[in-house]
Structure 1
Amino acid sequence: MVVMGNLSMGENFKEGTYLGSANGYKGEIKVEVKLSKDKIEDIKVISNTDTPIISDAPVNIIPKKVLQTQGLGVDVVAGATGTSRGVIAAINNAIKFSGYKTDLRRVKETKEKFTDKVVEHKDDVVVIGAGGAGLIAAIEAKLNGANVTVIEKMAFPGGNTLISGAEYAAPENWVQKKEGLKDSKDQFFNDTMKGGDNESNPNLVRVLADNALDGAVWLKDYVNVVFEDRQMFFGGHSVKRSLVPNGASGVEVIGKLMAKAKELGIPVYLEMNAVELITEGNRVVGVKALTPTETHNFMGKNGVIIASGGFGSNIEMRKKHDPRMDEKILSTNTTGITGDGIVMGEKVGAATTDMEFIQTYPVCDPENGALLYTGDVRLAGSAILVNKEGKRFVEELDRRDVISFAITKQTGGVGYLFWDQAQLDKTEVAVHHKGEYEALLRRGILVKADTIDEAAKHFGIDAKELKTTVEKYNEYAKNGKDLEFNKRGGLVAFTEGPYYILKNTPAIHHTMGGLVIDSKGRVLDKNGNPIEGLFAAGEVTGDIHGKNRLGSNAITDITVFGKISGENAAKNLQKVN
């Protein structure tokens, strides 16, 4: 029998099975806890609405630790703090319902001691990082005949790809053709070069542009990633070309990549922290990695692929290259994105480039820095950004860095994204990102109101000026031209309420700098020569996006160069020319 409610107090548990619930990162978490007289016998998480894959880690790990220690003073899972705390709180609430009065959160878990044990692994290729770039590289290496192992320092795979919208920029794609949109590889090349202020290596951008569509088709047809029958128009692009994965979430991409890796027999070691590249002479032959109790040497006779991401969560590294990006600036990145691969590469002589170019994303949570996918209504072309004074101040589809900088100059360093019910329905962001949407309403960062006056009052915005701004915008939509900011894309007039306003601020999103690579994915030294046995792909590399990455180019980047590095690492003993 499942028991709910407050029972009589006592020093021992009251035997039975109890339900408890608490808020996680995005939604409610429910658990079922079975108690005997003197022991927590079993814990089951029966409901969890937080982000899949990330939340899977604490859902699996936290109950095991609680059962092991018989207490709730367990550490949260790094990168999944919100879900971890939600699971712990739900367990605590279930035990409280039993009538138990002692605070079990005071009981701390005991740590296993580190030993001198060294575990040896032998493969053809070792991949550092189980994010999108790493998994793609591993799959491609396997398809080219190599035995591959992937190591990941976090308790879950996915990296920044997992928490992204995972939109994919591809010229001449199948949705464009269906919609009758003209595009070309050259146009994509030019947009990317221009978007990075021509600071990119044109040879790498050419590779990106020429292979973008093939990469998207590979994800769709081989990896089985489901793309929706629509596109998005990201700032800086000259045409709508960004494919949208199912649910507009990186969960679709990482979930399918992990399934394909499993199908191919590629082991993925989690909580395996790479700390050093192993070399013999001038050749990289493996990786030294640590767990809480052991050292592991992963040897790769063909080579090592670094796909560990950028350094958006490493405050000291950020400040070293751009002092403005200090602890006051929040980050959209997972906590594991700390530049480890860049540091390891530098220690074996790798060159770096563009390290000073750090991008912020304009529409982020003002409290925790998380990228707000509810704000993707902006990309549909009709939402407007206003300030506390109720006025627009930037083109809403300009480059991310331009919009971010404009927001920082407004009152309080925040912006307010305004839209109506028709646009919410059209974009379906409340459906695709239901958990986030509901959490934002609950926290008051997003307001829904029947009138503009009521919505503006929630944030103290000048309602009279906001209504004037809306009237102006509607006139622009009627005439087909934005006379203030020349907004690209279609202009759609606002209609009836309810109306929505989302408070937002910029947060660090992407680091454009990293290891220097060539068109084969080989890491180069300071003299421009390949370091034998060392490859890289994804945000750990530099020279592809220049000063500023265009939205949806990251997934194109990790796919194109993930495939290239994987193929060439697999063939490395035959020499890459």
Structure 2
Amino acid sequence: MQDHQSVDLLVVGAGMAGLTAGARAVRNGLSVTVVEIGEDVGGSARYAGYAWTAPSHEVMERHNPGGEASLKRALVDRFAEGIAWIRSTGVEVKDAQPILSFGQGHQFDTHHYVDTCRRIIVEAGGTLLLTTDTARLLLEGGTVTGAELVTADGARRKVRATSTLLATGGFQGDTDLRNQFVHPHADRMELRSNPHSRGAGHRLATAAGAATGRAEAGFYGHLIPSGIPFADPSDFVDLSLYYSEHALLFNLLGERFTDETLGDHLTAMALMEQPENRGLLIADARVFRDWVVGSYVRGAVAVDKFALADKRGGRTGFAESLDELDHLPEEWGYDGPSVRAAVERFNARAAAGEEPVPGRRLDRMPLDEPPYYVIETVPAITFPFHGVRIDDRARVLGEDGQPVEGLLAAGSDTGGLWYRAYAGGIASALVFGLTAAGSATVRAVRATRATRPGEAPL
């Protein structure tokens, strides 16, 4: 087995978090090697276009009360620094704009950004190894000292590193881990992500003694039409039914079971708990006009979600009146009259100014403008909220709550930040990628000074 030259920072995973950390680290003067199992860099960041999060600690607490306090505070406090970092690379970042009902963020070209980070790393003398797997972490006396790699031709090599960062993007590509840590039927969900995030970071970290977060933390994803597999990454956005926040969602029993206005990403988790993990999403002409064919956020391309689902062979229905809901296809398994009656009950309470059941925080207007647009929907997963525990310096924590020396993690490999709530995955990868680079820099300087007798410690 050939030993590679030792580096200050070994990055496992070349997505948003890993490339951010690598680029920042080489600018800090560190030697860096980046390992990526795929044939190209970028991961799921190539499918994104915004970095956003909660604009204040109060808003973050209101929308994500179960998340780890120190991680939430770090994300909010360091977000502006993250945006400044993107601009420092020469990538254009648009001015701040509202995202969802509570967030604030910036649009930028994520393709340009990840390619720019790659260029920064390589031009500074860093090494990028594609189609390379990470077999195991190297451990010496409880300290992570690098990793053993396997290249595409099966050759094995060791990379020694002062710090090793896990940034493999989560385990959403592994159905066994999804069933274990997300939901017993999580394997049913379509994968709304790159296919290479299969839990490498989770396995490597836990083998080194890392602790992980709560298994019931949930996942980030969106509702999509049932029965339509993703054909290519553009479907991740085009088929996501973001407008569900303004529609009504019913389970197989013909019942509303959640406040849809909390957000499509939260409704996806709620639907996962319902019978057969599927439901009917119903919009009227107002919702269709204002939300179905509109842009989810300013600047995004508008797509007629209903027309696309219908064209692709999804279960869709068009009703000229509520009475026509009585005739839902029998093979769908829903009781049409019960669904119609539930819509009528909602409309009656909304028209009277009464709180519906379940409650509805936003958009309490009745759905009483025909025609009606019906899509059967299911959840799709982007990444899990369960993951490796870290502190606010991106250091991986062991079962005893103390840092595992030499080991860092960032992005969707980490857990604890989100608990059945969400406010920006790109923002988290950006902030904790930069944080990891900072921690690696401190460790590299300390290691250098330790080899120079007479110098004061950092």
TM-score norm. by structure 2 comes to 0.77
Deviation, structure 1 residue 479: 6.5
| Aligned residue number for residue 452 of structure 2 | none
Q: In 1, Cα distance between the equivalents of 2:269 and 2:423? A: 20
String of CA shifts for 1:29-51, please: whole Å, max 9, x gaps.
xxxxxxxxxxxxxxxxxxxxxxx
> Alignment partner for residue 259 of structure 2, among 366, 388, 395?
395
Structure 1: which 5+ runs fail to align?
Answer: 1-115, 172-183, 234-238, 247-251
| Aligned residue number for residue 243 of structure 2 | 378
| Aligned residue number for residue 206 of structure 1 | 73
* Residue pairs, 1:436-447, within 5 angstroms: 440-445=309-314, 447=316
Q: In 2, Cα distance between the equivalents of 1:228 and 1:462? A: 48
> Alignment partner for residue 201 of structure 2, among 341, 346, 349?
341
Structure 2: which 5+ runs fail to align?
Answer: 231-235, 448-457
AA aligned opposite 1:421 = R
Q: Is the 8 A contact 1:455 1:500 kept in 2?
A: no
Q: In 1, Cα distance between the equivalents of 2:353 and 2:28? A: 52
Deviation, structure 1 residue 409: 6.2
Q: In 1, Cα distance between the equivalents of 2:85 and 2:184? A: 39
Q: Is the 8 A contact 2:143 2:406 kept in 1?
A: yes
Q: Which has the larger radius of gyration?
A: 1
Deviation, structure 1 residue 426: 3.2
Q: 1:476/1:271 Cα in 2 relative to 1: closer, same or farther (>3 Å)?
A: farther
> Alignment partner for residue 413 of structure 1, among 256, 272, 277?
277
Deviation, structure 1 residue 201: 3.0
Q: In 1, Cα distance between the equivalents of 2:371 and 2:305? A: 19
Q: Is the 8 A contact 2:214 2:386 kept in 1?
A: yes
> Alignment partner for residue 270 of structure 1, among 127, 130, 139?
130
> Alignment partner for residue 426 of structure 1, among 264, 289, 294?
294
Aligned residues: percent identity?
23
- The residue matched to 1:505 in structure 2 has which SS? strand
* Residue pairs, 1:141-540, within 5 angstroms: 141-163=25-47, 166=50, 168-171=52-55, 184-192=56-64, 194=65, 196=66, 200-219=67-86, 222=89, 224=91, 226-227=93-94, 230-233=97-100, 240-243=102-105, 245=107, 252-263=109-120, 265=123, 267-295=127-155, 297=157, 299=159, 301-321=161-181, 324-325=184-185, 327-355=187-215, 357-359=217-219, 361=221, 363-367=223-227, 373-378=238-243, 381-387=245-251, 392-398=256-262, 403-404=267-268, 406-408=270-272, 412-419=276-283, 420-427=288-295, 432=301, 434=303, 440-445=309-314, 447=316, 449=318, 451-452=320-321, 482-491=355-364, 499-540=372-413
Q: Is the 8 A contact 2:146 2:162 kept in 1?
A: no
Deviation, structure 1 residue 284: 2.9
TM-score norm. by structure 1 comes to 0.63
Deviation, structure 1 residue 471: 5.8
Q: 1:222/1:496 Cα in 2 relative to 1: closer, same or farther (>3 Å)?
A: farther
String of CA shifts for 1:189-231, please: whole Å, max 9, x gaps.
3432x2x3xxx43222221232234334544565635458753
| Aligned residue number for residue 440 of structure 2 | 569
More displaced, 398-407 or 558-567? Answer: 398-407
* Residue pairs, 1:74-89, within 5 angstroms: none
- The residue matched to 2:414 in structure 1 has which SS? coil
Q: Is the 8 A contact 1:377 1:427 kept in 2?
A: no
Q: In 1, Cα distance between the equivalents of 2:251 and 2:95? A: 33
Q: In 2, Cα distance between the equivalents of 1:396 and 1:267? A: 47
- The residue matched to 1:157 in structure 2 has which SS? coil
Q: Is the 8 A contact 1:448 1:498 kept in 2?
A: no
Q: Is the 8 A contact 2:89 2:116 kept in 1?
A: no
Q: In 2, Cα distance between the equivalents of 1:151 and 1:331? A: 23
Q: In 2, Cα distance between the equivalents of 1:521 and 1:541? A: 9
- The residue matched to 1:205 in structure 2 has which SS? helix
Q: 1:312/1:457 Cα in 2 relative to 1: closer, same or farther (>3 Å)?
A: same
Q: Is the 8 A contact 1:277 1:287 kept in 2?
A: yes
Q: In 1, Cα distance between the equivalents of 2:5 and 2:225? A: 42
Higher RCO (Cα < 8 Å, 6 or more apart): 2
Q: In 1, Cα distance between the equivalents of 2:308 and 2:5? A: 44
Q: 1:141/1:331 Cα in 2 relative to 1: closer, same or farther (>3 Å)?
A: same
* Residue pairs, 1:65-76, within 5 angstroms: none
Aligned-pair RMSD on alpha carbons? 3.9
Q: In 2, Cα distance between the equivalents of 1:221 and 1:499? A: 48
Question: How many residues are treated as equivalent by the alignment?
Answer: 431
